[in-house]
């Protein structure tokens, strides 16, 4: 069964460093997302991406964050200058329909745990 994959599973970085988190969404999906979960808190939406551009972003997704789909398969989240509070589990997700996730199942990857020291 097709699945969303993410690499690495765990990333440790120093404060101020740049990190790139990678995702391979399911191949025929059209909408892509990043969410994060800070330990002990709720999963929070960061950004959605459709047709090679950002569809929507949350307040969390400030100028230090960016997303890209550099080729036909990868979807990346870049954090330019990491802060301690960026430590979280970052999930990538995708869904098939162009209409978004409202009634369409959104498929999640296993997450990348980012630790900022």
Partner 1 sequence: ILNVEQSPQSLHVQEGDSTNFTCSFPSSNFYALHWYRWETAKSPEALFVMTLNGDEKKKGRISATLNTKEGYSYLYIKGSQPEDSATYLCAFHNYGGSQGNLIFGKGTKLSVKP
| Binding flag, residue 65, partner 1 (CB under 8 A) | no
Please tell me whether residue 61 binds partner 1 under the rule CB under 8 A: no
Rounded distance, CA 89 to CA 105, Å?
21
CB burial of 7-42 (b: ≥16 within 10 Å; e: otherwise) equals eeeebebeeeeebebbbbbbeebbbbbbbbeeeeee
Position among 2, 12, 38, 56 found at the interface with partner 1 (CB under 8 A) = 56
Residue 94 as a binder of partner 1 (CB under 8 A): the answer is no
Instruction: Give the shortest CB-20-to-partner 1 separation in angstroms.
Output: 20
C-beta neighbour count of 4 within 10 angstroms: 21
Question: Taking CB under 8 A as the rule, does residue 30 contact partner 1?
Answer: no
51 lines the binding site for partner 1 (CB under 8 A): no
How far apart (Å, rounded) are the C-alpha atoms in residues 116 and 16? 9
Q: Which chain residues interact with partner 1 by CB under 8 A?
A: 3-4, 9, 31, 33, 35, 41-45, 47-48, 50, 55-56, 58, 91, 99-111
């Amino acid at each position: 069964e097709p699945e969303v994959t993410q690499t690495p599973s765990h990333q440790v970085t120093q404060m101020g460093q740049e990190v790139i988190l990678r995702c391979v969404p399911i191949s025929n999906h059209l909408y892509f997302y990043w969410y994060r979960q800070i330990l002990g808190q709720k999963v929070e939406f960061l950004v959605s991406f459709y047709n090679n551009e950002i569809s929507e972003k949350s307040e969390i997704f400030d100028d230090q964050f960016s997303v890209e789909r550099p080729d036909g398969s990868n979807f990346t989240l870049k954090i330019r200058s990491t802060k301690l509070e960026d430590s979280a589990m970052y999930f990538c997700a995708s869904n098939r329909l162009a209409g978004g996730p409202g009634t369409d199942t959104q498929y999640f990857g296993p997450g990348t745990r980012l630790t900022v020291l």
